[in-house]
Each structure stands twice: as C-alpha cells, then as structure tokens.
Structure 1
Amino acid sequence: MDLPSTIARPIDHEVVIKKSRFLAHLAPAATVAEADAVIARRRKELWDAGHHCVAMVLGTGADGASQTARSSDDGEPGGTAGVPMLEVLRHRDMTDLVAVVTRYFGGVKLGAGGLVRAYSGAVAGALDVAAASGALLRRELLYEVEVPVPHGDAGRIDNVLRDWASSHGSVMEPPAYDAVAHLRLLVPREQLDTLAADVASASAGALSPTVGEARVVDVPARRP
C-alpha cells in the first residue's frame, strides 16, 4: 500500500523574486490545532509581513479520502497562493504538515501567474531542502516481528538482524528480556518470507520469527 510522506522537523526556505521575499516554512502537524498553532506563531514572529499564505494536508489515507486539506490566500488574489501551495503538497504525496509562505512585498507586482509560480516554487523548494537534509520521511505499513533468542545467542543474532534490517527496508525496535531475549523488528510484508529463511539459516534452523500486527511507521526517505 502506497502511503504519503511527511517531514521529521520544521524546514525553512526563502525565494526572492523581483525584490519580493517569499519565506516558506514547513512544519509537522498531526491535527488542525497543531497546524493552526504553527500559523499563529509565524504571524506573531513575522508580524510586519503583508501576507501569510497557508496550505495543510493532514491524515494518512493512501487515496486521500481520509485526509483533511485546507488552504488560504491571506489577501493575495484568489487562487494565486494557497491552492498552488496545496497542489505541490498533493503532487509530492505529502501529509501531516502545514506550509506557511510569508511574503514581504518588494514594490513590483508579479501578476497572477507570477504569484502562482512564486508561492508554489517556495513550497517545492522547501520540500527539496527537506529531502536533501534527511528530514523527509516515507510512511510505510510494516509488520511487527519478534524473534525469541536464548540469551547466550542474543548478541550474535541481534547483529545479524541489524545488518539484515538495513538492507531490507526494515527497522529494529528495542528488545525485551525475560527467560529469553525478544528481538523485535518492523518488516515490509514482502520481506517476511526472506526474514524467516535468513533467521533459520543464521541459527541452523533453531529460531523462527513470529509475525504480529501491521502498523504505519515513519522511516527516513532515501536521499536524492
């Protein structure tokens, strides 16, 4: 299942066009209240700017059906700011974030087309910065897997699983301990059979993973 991506931390990016400054600010937001708090903070910090245009997409729906999307032109001509910003977020398959582009007018009118290009370009540039800096997260459906291991073999098998996870799109989770060590991973569905075979090979058939429930997980995206 293809799920939208998100960001791990706030991202800032500035574009200057004909002396007008467009300051893009992207921030993670899981709810409308969190997004509104980001917008209010930007308005307070940059109180002397002419416009604070907004686009937000919230929700994890793969087809967009369960997502919330909102935008605002904040005084710019209708359709020249918020909607183009929102289209960039949708085109890049982003979710759970808010984009605020603040404009300081430079004295030269850009026209409707120029504004569309400026606001959409500022958001696109900020997303490029997120990707290049490692702040972009891909959202995946991974399965909880547990491998019970005798304590004497736990260190070796833990190293095997860490190496395996790094090359199979999986994530190691903290282990748990009782009578045995419970080594835990999050694994894509298509890798479950491979994991079972590799665990059996590494343990001469003595160990086998137990597959649990699936859950949505944010993992770092591959850098361009």
Structure 2
Amino acid sequence: MISDLKDTYKTISAASEEVLFKEKNSKFFGYSFPVTSEIKVKEILDQLKKKHFSARHWCYAYQLGTEKTVFRANDDGEPNNSAGMPIYGQIQSFELTNVLVVVVRYFGGVKLGVGGLISAYKTTAQMALQEAQIIEKTVDVHFLVKFDYKNINKVMRIIREKNLTVVSQKMEMDCEIEICVRKKFKENVYGIFNDAFEIDIQLME
C-alpha cells in the first residue's frame, strides 16, 4: 500500500546571486543559501562577515528539517523582531526549508524606524529568494539490505523492478547494499525484502 503521507518539501537548488535594496541611504544586501546544518549556517555567516567587514548588521533567518523543522531568526542588533522575523516570514511565505537567508545592512545615516526596517528586511529577503531556483525534493529513507552472495540475483531483481537507488554496496561472501527509498514507499519496500527468503533488511537512522 502506498501511503498518502506528504514526502516532498521545497528548498533552493543553489546559493542565489547577491541582491541590493536601498532605502534612505542604507544599503541592504540579500543572500539565500541551501543549508542542512547549523554548522553550515555558521560557516556562511563567517564568510559574509569577512566580505562585508564594514557593515553594521548581519541579520538572518533559517529553517532546517523536513518533518520536524527548527528555525532561528536573528536581529543582530536591530530593534527586536524588526529584521530576523521579517526575513523568516519570507522563508515561510515561499514554503521553504533547509534554507538560510541573510541580509547585510550598511547604515546610511538616516534612521528608518521599526516599520521601515521591517519593510526593508522583508523586501530584501523576498528579492534574494526570488533570485534562487526553488526545487521540490523527496523525503527519503535508507535501508541496509544484507544477504549471502548466492542471493544476489534475487536482490538485484527487486532493486531493478522497484527502481530503487543504490547508495553503496559491498559484494563479498556476505553482501550489503544500502538503498534509498522515497518515504511513502518505505513500508512497501521493507515488506518485499522482509518477505524474501534469506534476506535481512534494516532501516538506517
């Protein structure tokens, strides 16, 4: 049985080109990046701080994860919720995850007020995401299939028939194949291998 579980999500394919928004002499540079870890977020922020070392603020928001998501919004010295949350609002508006949006501000000498800041950060984040290519990906699970070499034809036939992706394989007397399966086919594929004689299948975490 194929479940109707939602097993796709939207993200961006690659880092977007730099965008620039100007408001009352302040310059806002916007960027979006595909990310899958907080370590990567930190690396990108460090690089942007080196690039824009004389900027006043490096505000950002990110969302990570597919089924369970975590997000963070950072105002980096701007008034509370005037930068990070408007940026995060655009990530939500585009329905994206595994994405980081950074807006770097050079202060132009004229205060924008909280309303002006919210509008500027929101607009720059929107421009950065519009520059990116949005793609849909599937939520996948990985299985490890173990079997004796004599059963290799049986295993390979199932992999071919079900059009499964082989991630890695070890072909010796004791064979192991790691396969990647769309989440909604998880139970179906597990059942086929589990019912097969002399074949062991385990879900990889």
Name the TM tier (shorter chain): 0.5 to 0.7
1-structure distance, mates of 2:183, 2:38 = 30
Q: State the aligned residue count.
A: 157
CA contact (8 A) 2:7 2:183 kept: no
Instruction: Give the counterpart of 1:6 among 3, 8, 11.
Output: 11
Q: Could you say which residue in structure 2 is the equivalent of 1:117?
A: 119
State yes or no: 1:37 paired with 2:43. Answer: yes
Offset at residue 102 of structure 1 (A): 0.2
Q: Could you say which residue in structure 2 is the equivalent of 1:137?
A: 135
For the structure 1 residues 117 and 2, does the alpha-carbon distance in structure 2 shift closer, same or farther, using more than 3 Å as the test?
Answer: farther
Q: Could you say which residue in structure 2 is the equivalent of 1:54?
A: 60
1-structure distance, mates of 2:82, 2:25 = 18
- TM-score of the two chains, using structure 1 as the length reference: 0.60
For the structure 1 residues 34 and 109, does the alpha-carbon distance in structure 2 shift closer, same or farther, using more than 3 Å as the test?
Answer: same
1-structure distance, mates of 2:25, 2:7 = 41
Q: For 1:106, what is the secondary structure of its paired residue?
A: coil
State yes or no: 1:94 paired with 2:96. Answer: yes
The higher relative CO (CA closer than 8 Å, separation ≥ 6) is in 2
Offset at residue 100 of structure 1 (A): 1.1
Instruction: Give the counterpart of 1:16 among 18, 22, 42.
Output: 22
Q: Could you say which residue in structure 1 is the equivalent of 2:200?
A: none
CA contact (8 A) 1:35 1:97 kept: no
After the TM superposition, which residues 132-171 of structure 1 pair with which residues of structure 2 at under 5 Å, given as runs?
A: 135-141=133-139, 147=160
1-structure distance, mates of 2:64, 2:95 = 11
- State the one-letter code of the partner of 2:115: G
Q: Deviations over 1:12-53 (max 9, x none)?
A: 221111221110111111111111111111111111000000
For the structure 1 residues 140 and 108, does the alpha-carbon distance in structure 2 shift closer, same or farther, using more than 3 Å as the test?
Answer: same
CA contact (8 A) 2:66 2:139 kept: no
For the structure 1 residues 188 and 33, does the alpha-carbon distance in structure 2 shift closer, same or farther, using more than 3 Å as the test?
Answer: closer
CA contact (8 A) 1:53 1:72 kept: yes
- TM-score of the two chains, using structure 2 as the length reference: 0.65
1-structure distance, mates of 2:183, 2:78 = 45
Instruction: Give the counterpart of 1:68 among 67, 70, 75.
Output: 70
Question: Which structure 1 residue ranges, 4+ long, deviate > 6 Å from structure 2?
Answer: 186-189
